[in-house]
């Protein structure tokens, strides 16, 4: 009988031991699960932080790209000088067009002006306005390309042509070829325009070229078909003599009269108009 109780006691002790171990394992498993859950949550937080950092980096990159685009859109350099181009047989006729007087007018008013029959090596850096002083032959390709580059950088090209009445003193064909090369739509003609007399034009405001200009006087001019451009100066009830058209980043002015740059330069507001041709932008 005592032996049986010993056996029963041992069995109960073993059962109690296994029961305690099972409870311990369960607690440990719970702790382990809790630890694993915490680890998963921590991983998620880390991923969230990583995403946030990535987003922040992406924003910086986008801003950087935007700044790069802004730099790309900056207007290229344009000089402030004026080149009075007398190449291609230009610079006359001497009875009407006074090239040296035009240069002196600019220089006396603080505007650097140079007369030349070729492009100086410093053209791109120092000049913002190219004035072709009544060329009589085809304009060299190097000059035409320089003019195209100039308006592409925000500069101005001015083409001055004399009439073809009672003799032809200009070359509309050569001038119009340059206009087309610049993607302009205007066309000069040696016919029409002002009669053999001092003629005041009707001025259409085109700031800053017409600032302070109420009267432009021409003498025995040709005419301009403005195409998609604007009539800056016209004979009252008649032909356009001065046309204006934006091209590239810059603009183009065509004048079918050379006398206003010489023979009648001191009439009306001609000198103010000539000086304004060197004013780029509004």
Average per-residue pLDDT in the chain? 82
Instruction: Give which of 238, 237, 239 is closest to 254, Cα–Cα.
Output: 239
CB neighbour list of residue 206: distance below 8 Å, 6 or more residues apart: 230, 232, 244
pLDDT band at residue 15 under the 50/70/90 scheme: low
Distance set, CA 245 to CA 17, 111, 161 (Å): 104, 23, 17
Residue with tokens 């059962």: 15
First to last CA, the chain: 122
Asked if residue 119 lies in contact with residue 104, where contact means CB atoms within 8 angstroms, the answer is: no
**pLDDT, tens digit, for every residue of 189-230?**
999 999 999 999 999 999 999 999 999 999 999 999 999 999
- Please provide the DSSP assignment of 227-278 as one string: TTSEEEEEETTS-EEEEEEEETTEEEEEES-SGGGBTTTTSTTHHHHHHHTT
CATH class, range 81-276: alpha beta
Region 8-21 average pLDDT = 49
**pLDDT, tens digit, for every residue of 103-140?**
999 999 999 999 999 999 999 999 999 999 999 999 99
Asked if residue 124 lies in contact with residue 145, where contact means CB atoms within 8 angstroms, the answer is: no
What pLDDT is stored for residue 36 in this prediction? 41
**pLDDT, tens digit, for every residue of 145-169?**
999 999 999 999 999 999 999 899 9
Region 267-275 average pLDDT = 98
Asked if residue 226 lies in contact with residue 240, where contact means CB atoms within 8 angstroms, the answer is: yes
pTM assigned to the model:
0.74
CB neighbour list of residue 59: distance below 8 Å, 6 or more residues apart: none
**pLDDT, tens digit, for every residue of 230-241?**
999 999 999 999
Decide if pLDDT at 19 tops 60: no
């Amino acid at each position: 009988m005592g032996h049986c109780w010993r056996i029963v006691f041992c069995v109960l002790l073993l059962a109690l031991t296994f029961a305690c171990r099972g409870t311990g394992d369960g607690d440990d498993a719970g702790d382990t699960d809790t630890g694993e859950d915490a680890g998963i949550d921590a991983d998620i937080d880390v991923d969230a932080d990583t995403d946030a950092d990535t987003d922040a980096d992406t924003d910086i990159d986008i801003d950087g790209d935007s700044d790069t685009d802004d730099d790309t859109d900056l207007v290229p350099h344009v000089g402030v000088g004026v080149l009075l181009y007398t190449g291609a047989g230009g610079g006359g006729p001497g009875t009407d067009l006074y090239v040296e007087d035009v240069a002196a007018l600019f220089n006396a008013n603080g505007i650097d002006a140079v007369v030349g029959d070729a492009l100086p090596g410093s053209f791109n850096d120092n000049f913002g306005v190219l004035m072709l002083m009544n060329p009589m032959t085809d304009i060299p390709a190097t000059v035409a390309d320089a003019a195209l580059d100039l308006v592409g950088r925000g500069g101005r090209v001015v083409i001055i042509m004399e009439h073809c009445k009672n003799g032809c003193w200009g070359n509309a064909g050569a001038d119009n070829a340059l206009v087309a090369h610049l993607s302009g739509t205007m066309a000069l003609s040696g016919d029409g325009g002002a009669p053999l007399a001092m003629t005041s034009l009707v001025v259409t405001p085109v700031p800053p070229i017409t600032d302070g200009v109420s009267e432009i006087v021409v003498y025995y001019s040709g005419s301009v078909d403005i195409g998609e451009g604007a009539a800056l100066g016209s004979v009252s009830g008649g032909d356009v003599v001065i046309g204006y058209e934006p091209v590239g980043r810059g603009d183009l002015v065509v004048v079918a009269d050379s006398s206003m740059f010489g023979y009648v330069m001191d009439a009306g507001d001609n000198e103010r108009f000539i000086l304004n041709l060197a004013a780029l932008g509004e």
